[in-house]
Amino acid sequence: MAGIKSLEELKALRDKYKENIIGRDTSDSENKIRISVGMATCGIASGARDTINAIIDEVSKEKLTNVVVVQSGCLGYCYAEPTVEVRVPGKEPVLYGNINAERGREIIKKHIKNGEIQKDWIIERTFKNI
Angle CA(59)–CA(54)–CA(72) in degrees, nearest 5? 85
Rounded to the nearest whole angstrom, what is the least distance from the CB of residue 112 to other proteins in the complex? 15
Judge contact between 71 and 36, C-beta under 8 A: yes
Does 130 help bind other proteins (rule: CB under 8 A)? no
> Cα(35)–Cα(68) distance, rounded to whole angstroms?
6
Judged by CB under 8 A, the residue of 60, 98, 100, 118 near other proteins is 60
Does 6 help bind other proteins (rule: CB under 8 A)? yes
Rounded to the nearest whole angstrom, what is the least distance from the CB of residue 120 to other proteins in the complex? 25
> Cα(13)–Cα(38) distance, rounded to whole angstroms?
34
Rounded to the nearest whole angstrom, what is the least distance from the CB of residue 63 to other proteins in the complex? 12
